[in-house]
Amino acid sequence: MTMTTLQVSEGEEARLKDAFENWVKDPEFPCVGAKSALARGTLRTVVCWSVESGWDDLRMHRELMAWAKEYKKDPGLFRSLAFLFAQAPAMNEERFEKAMWARIQSLADKDAWLAQPLDSRVSGDPQDPHFSLSFGGEAFFVVGLHPGASRPARRFERPVMVFNLHDQFEQLREEGRYEKIRETILGRDAELAGSVNPMLARHGEASEARQYSGRQVGDDWKCPFHDPRAAKATSGE
């Protein structure tokens, strides 16, 4: 394919960004953290080509590196970096999950190749209850959205990967605000969906990798991800 065939028009890029921001603003949307980020101007949206393509992986990684660097300079609350994918093939939850983890693996491989350290406050092992992703030395977790999601709060017109900084939630814990915000989000999500999300758990209770795609998975689920730096960190290299 040529670069021309993979470009998103300016009009479509603007439309997608507006659609996503309006979706977050919707009174029924449960995540008050995302709403706060949007209101503060700290919800950054980047339009990419396809979640099933590595075309934008270098660009996505550069954005994550810049986001981590900016946060280290000004560690304020409620920042989110959302990658919107313009292509929207008919995807069930398994197909989206496979594509999402392929992008995550590619991004982690690039971070390792650039000798970026794992955030020492979390684990790089996706089976560990203290697992988080790490880019530019900062821990992140991902919220996946797509049209075929079973949970209404994860159902947007295009695939989306939202990266949130793990340290923000540690800040909220230190301030004594985490549990109240968490309960608010869970309650709003349950009201929207008619049931509590069975995949949600606190960091340290179960690996957050199980939550990323939004698909309900069983105890036998194995995360299709390996951070090339995790084994070295465990061995002390």
C-alpha to C-alpha distance for 123 and 208, rounded to whole angstroms = 11
Which residue in 55, 54, 45, 52 sits closest to 4, CA to CA? 55
Q: At what angle do helices 57-73 and 93-113 cross, to 10 degrees?
A: 70
pLDDT tens-digit readout, 54-95:
999 999 999 999 999 999 998 888 899 999 999 988 899 999
Phi, psi of 80 (to 5 degrees): -140, 140
Kindly state the DSSP code that residue 165 receives in the 8-state scheme: E
pLDDT score, position 182:
84
Kindly state the DSSP code that residue 221 receives in the 8-state scheme: -
Alpha carbon distances (Å) from 71 to 93, 112, 165, 231? 32, 20, 9, 27
What DSSP element (H or E) covers 171?
helix 166-174
C-alpha to C-alpha distance for 20 and 3, rounded to whole angstroms = 25
Place of tokens 């594509």: 99
Tally of CA atoms within 13 A in the half-sphere of 18 that contains its CB: 6
Written as six digits, the tokens of 134 are 């790490």
pLDDT score, position 4:
40
Per-residue pLDDT of the chain (237 residues; tens, 9 = 90+): 334 456 799 999 999 999 999 999 999 999 988 999 999 999 999 999 999 999 999 999 999 999 999 999 988 888 999 999 999 888 999 999 999 999 999 999 999 999 999 999 999 999 999 999 999 999 999 999 999 999 999 999 999 999 999 988 888 888 888 788 888 888 998 899 888 787 777 677 789 999 999 999 998 999 999 999 986 655 455
Which residue in 164, 142, 146, 162 sits closest to 154, CA to CA? 146
pLDDT score, position 235:
47
- DSSP E strand stretches across 57-137: 80-85, 133-135
Alpha carbon distances (Å) from 4 to 1, 7, 21? 8, 5, 27
pLDDT score, position 133:
97
C-alpha to C-alpha distance for 81 and 104, rounded to whole angstroms = 14
Ranges of each domain in the chain: 11-221
* 43-48 vs 80-85, strand pairing mode: parallel
Starting at the edge strand found earlier in the chain, the sheet holding 80-85 runs: 43-48, 80-85, 160-165, 138-145, 133-135
pLDDT score, position 186:
84
C-alpha to C-alpha distance for 147 and 123, rounded to whole angstroms = 31
Q: pTM for this one?
A: 0.93
